[in-house]
Chains A and B, each alone.
Chain A
């Protein structure tokens, strides 16, 4: 199981990890060095559980942003 597949299964939906990290960098510039490290670990194929533990332990903001990417706050139906 790839890290992408593992995340999809864990979250229950198809997610784009690169997009989430890009959004995290854009929203939280101070996180950029850590996120670059995280991206490197993902690309290197680090154990998914270890990556998730890293995210949970050190980057709760990333989970918030990930949820925002998966379920954006801007809904076209809110204008109706």
Chain B
């Protein structure tokens, strides 16, 4: 278990990324920023050096703001239900959307990620990739399913998630 000081410090780093995002969004058109928060449930797999457990169920939240049609700032905080940990991440993504179906998109990005237990330490930069999909955009437009995987720059630990989101638009 990491110290409360380190946990607070790393959470502040993620918060700083989120604040920087908000400042960067200021010049953007309000209707283009598309800020949202999400209620989140994940199945998260860990693989690689130091992975002390293979999978956990997580509950938490995400937030995002679009800086342009192709660049988004994102953040997330999750609680691992089985192994009782906090996991956080924040970063930037380059997004690509299906022109004919805006309910599916993929992304490449760079995260700063970490967590409250040794397995999820140290906090580090991690390239990530993933996708999101609204399976029922007419009936359930706020429901999203998707997946994401990142590889730690320092630890080479792979974190992979499949998740369900419920989106709350803030605009």
Q: In the complex, are the beta carbons of B106 and A77 less than 8 A apart? A: yes
Pick the contact of B161 from A14, A70, A80 — CB < 8 Å?
A: A80
Residues of A within 8 A of B134 (CB): 76
Task: List A52-70 residues whose CB lies under 8 Å from chain B.
Answer: 64, 67-68, 70
Q: In the complex, are the beta carbons of A78 and B72 less than 8 A apart? A: yes
User: Mostly helix, strand, loop or mixed at chain B's interface?
Assistant: strand
Residues of B within 8 A of A79 (CB): 36, 38, 40, 62, 64, 132, 144, 146, 165, 167
Residues of A within 8 A of B133 (CB): 76-77
Residues of B within 8 A of A45 (CB): none
Residues of B within 8 A of A68 (CB): 32, 69
Q: In the complex, are the beta carbons of A77 and B130 less than 8 A apart? A: yes
Q: In the complex, are the beta carbons of B97 and A71 less than 8 A apart? A: yes
Q: Does A73 contact B (CB under 8 A)?
A: yes
Closest to B37 in A: A79
**Chain B residues packing against A (C-beta within 8 Å):** 29, 31-34, 36, 38, 40, 62, 64, 66, 68-70, 72, 74, 93, 95, 97, 99-100, 102-107, 130-134, 144, 146-148, 161, 163, 165, 167
Residues of B within 8 A of A29 (CB): none
Known: A13-B99, A68-B69, A71-B70. A76 touches B32 (CB 8 A): no
Task: List A27-77 residues whose CB lies under 8 Å from chain B.
Answer: 27, 64, 67-68, 70-77
Known: A68-B32, A72-B102. A78 touches B66 (CB 8 A): yes
**Chain A residues packing against B (C-beta within 8 Å):** 13-15, 27, 64, 67-68, 70-80
Q: In the complex, are the beta carbons of A74 and B99 less than 8 A apart? A: no
Residues of A within 8 A of B165 (CB): 76, 79-80
Residues of A within 8 A of B34 (CB): 73-74
Instruction: Kindly name the residue among A70, A77, A80 whose own CB sees the greatest number of chain B CB atoms within 10 A.
Output: A80
Closest to A74 in B: B34
Residues of A within 8 A of B70 (CB): 71
State A13–B32 Cα separation when bound (angstroms): 21
State A68–B148 Cα separation when bound (angstroms): 24
